[in-house]
Chain A
Amino acid sequence: MNLMGRSPMKNNRLRSIYTVPYTVWILLFVLAPIALIVYYSFFDLTGNFTLANYRNFFTSVYLTLTISSFWYAFLITFFSLLIAYPTAYFLTKTKHKQLWLLLIIIPSWINLLLKTYAFIGLMGLYGPLNAFLEVIGIGKQQILFTDFSFVFVSVYIFIPFMILPIFNALDKLNPALIDAARDLGANGWTTFKRVIWPLTLNGVKSGVQVVFIPALSLFMITRLIAGNKVITLGTAIEQQFLVTQNWGMGSTIAVFLILFMFIIMLFTTGKERGATGNGKNRKAS
């Protein structure tokens, strides 16, 4: 016997009270927006039905844009993972690991814009980074407004989001398994490759998901840090919607971004979502 079992009439009324607002939310803010994006992608600037936006998307300009956007997202994800995995691993080995984790997460709570803004100063022509380069004899470089600065700042922003799910996966790993591998004669690398990595793969996948998808759609960092050197899918959408006011073309790019998002989710959704339970998981832009 449970809550459903008794007086179904009253129960239904109660249920509808809390089902209605949530259902309305799903219809209005989850389904309708996607439908509207798809709908708008079939219209040109003057409001006529057209397939031209799609034809445009497959021209060289947009294809290059998509490929370069993917390339940058790949670089950002790769370097985030490269730095985050050892960090998460060593963190689980520290004495007060929850405290250290909290300390590493705190920067991710600081407003994203402020962190990005800091790099405008840090990487500026007279900033500390260039001063350092001058001291070691390389001399002043134009760091800001290059694709290097874009990837660097993005990796900086995303590292905590990558650390979190990997830390959770590593933390759940039964240490007896590692001991067993060692006892059975596996060396450090084999233990990592055959035991630790496969068992934390779900954490890595969630990490890749929370980094790769936002990295495809960054537009604030591209504008502030990369000048106009880097154009991502996100920058293109923002450009079409807010500058050129060509909502049709913007929607078409958005349709493809949504498609890419679903494909990436298919590949990166593990059985267990470890990323959501332990703090902030907000995508950046």
Chain B
Amino acid sequence: MERIGKLPKLYLAVVFIILYAPIFYLIFYSFNSGGGMTNFESFTWEHYAAVFEDKRLIVIVLNTIIIALLSALVSTAIGVMGALAIYFMRNQGMKNAVLSLNNILMVSPDVIIGASFLILFTMIGVKLGFASVLISHIAFSIPIVVIMVLPKLSEMNPTLIDAALDLGATRKDVMTRVILPFIQPGIFAGFFLALTYSLDDFAVTFFVTGNGFSTLSVEIYSMARTGISLTINALSGIIFVVTVALVLGYYALNRKMKAPLTGVKK
């Protein structure tokens, strides 16, 4: 393999700086005792204190986390079932059709998802608020779980199932002792992505949330529309640290979980 030259290195460095600059810029000014994001006066923790003193904001953060965890759990359960259903389908045409349907929500713009869900909820009478947001998040996270689990299923050697059945395992055993452990990394990845989809979503939530309920993204949007507030900066500092920890933790766990499974594959 050829070595990487000076110019490519410089190019990569510039891309990295541009990608990270806005984030560090936000975090830098979160320590500014002045009011804005221009003149750095002196170092302070006051904006971080403000985040933790703001009861409303804390409630919104908790709402966001609860919605993310619940929606990730439910969508993972339904998504795994969906992946199994697709995997055991014998009709190839049917399989492809279902897969295309599965991918529709993955590619549809959020505005479409938000608007159509708004119509749906209004029609069937779901009150806009916690329930509508939770249901939407479950709905748009299901396809990614299916996508993450399906490759694991097709990686699985079908003779494993036959072997288990021949050795006297019941169908329930086959499911809980053979299939589920094998596809566990896929399930885990699906859960994690569902979690981040939910945490990151703005547009869909914006459409289906009523007046009384708000998630972090929607709240940041309305705060940002009124101008600069260093509380948002402090919040982004916290979010950055949590996100990086989550991503690194995920990759570490992923690596750890993949290792023992390689022995079974072939």
A residues sitting closer than 8 Å to B (CB atoms) are 1-4, 6, 10-11, 14-15, 17-19, 21-23, 25-26, 28-34, 36-37, 40, 83, 86-87, 90-91, 93-94, 100, 102-107, 109-122, 124, 126-128, 156, 159-160, 175, 209, 213-214, 216-217, 219-220, 223-224, 233-234, 237-238, 241-242, 247, 250-251, 254, 257-258, 261, 265, 276-277, 280-283, 285
Say yes or no: B90 contacts A4, CB within 8 Å: yes
A3 shortest CB reach to chain B, Å: 5
B218 shortest CB reach to chain A, Å: 9
The listed residue with most B CB atoms (<10 A of its CB), out of A128, A159, A276, is A276
Say yes or no: A114 contacts B220, CB within 8 Å: yes
Q: Is chain B's binding surface mostly helix, strand, loop or mixed?
A: helix
On chain A, the residues within 8 Å of B11 by CB distance are 86-87, 90
B residues sitting closer than 8 Å to A (CB atoms) are 1-4, 8-9, 11-12, 15-16, 18-23, 25-26, 29, 36-38, 77-82, 84-85, 88, 90, 98, 101-102, 104-120, 123, 139-140, 142, 144, 146-148, 151, 158, 161-162, 165, 171, 174, 193, 196-197, 199-200, 202-203, 206-207, 216-217, 220-221, 224-225, 228, 232, 235-236, 239-240, 243-244, 246-247, 251
Q: List 10 A-B contacts (CB under 8 A).
A: A14-B171, A18-B80, A19-B85, A34-B104, A109-B196, A113-B217, A117-B232, A224-B221, A234-B109, A242-B207
On chain A, the residues within 8 Å of B80 by CB distance are 18
A121's contact among B29, B77, B220, B221, by CB below 8 Å, is which? B29
Name which residue of chain B comes closest to A268, CB basis. Answer: B107
What is the CA–CA distance of A270 and B88 in the complex, to the nearest angstrom? 25
On chain B, the residues within 8 Å of A100 by CB distance are 12
The listed residue with most B CB atoms (<10 A of its CB), out of A29, A126, A220, is A29
Say yes or no: B78 contacts A111, CB within 8 Å: no
A217's contact among B110, B117, B171, by CB below 8 Å, is which? B110
**A36-B123, A107-B19 as given contacts; A26 in contact with B220, CB under 8 Å:** no
What is the CA–CA distance of A123 and B195 in the complex, to the nearest angstrom? 32
**A4-B88, A220-B202, A285-B203 as given contacts; A254 in contact with B1, CB under 8 Å:** no
B26's contact among A87, A114, A127, A156, by CB below 8 Å, is which? A114
On chain B, the residues within 8 Å of A109 by CB distance are 196, 200, 243, 246-247
Give the total number of A-B pairs whose CB atoms are below 8 A apart: 257
The listed residue with most A CB atoms (<10 A of its CB), out of B16, B113, B203, is B203
Say yes or no: B107 contacts A209, CB within 8 Å: yes
Say yes or no: B81 contacts A261, CB within 8 Å: no
Say yes or no: B4 contacts A93, CB within 8 Å: yes
What is the CA–CA distance of A64 and B2 in the complex, to the nearest angstrom? 49
A238's contact among B12, B111, B116, by CB below 8 Å, is which? B111
**A22-B78, A121-B228, A224-B221 as given contacts; A282 in contact with B200, CB under 8 Å:** yes
What is the CA–CA distance of A106 and B242 in the complex, to the nearest angstrom? 12
Known: A3-B88, A3-B171, A238-B206. 11 other contacts (CB 8 A): A4-B90, A25-B82, A26-B101, A30-B104, A37-B112, A94-B12, A216-B109, A220-B221, A224-B221, A233-B111, A282-B197
Say yes or no: A217 contacts B112, CB within 8 Å: yes
What is the CA–CA distance of A127 and B38 in the complex, to the nearest angstrom? 6
Say yes or no: B88 contacts A119, CB within 8 Å: no
Say yes or no: B200 contacts A107, CB within 8 Å: no
B109's contact among A11, A113, A159, A214, by CB below 8 Å, is which? A214
On chain A, the residues within 8 Å of B4 by CB distance are 90, 93-94
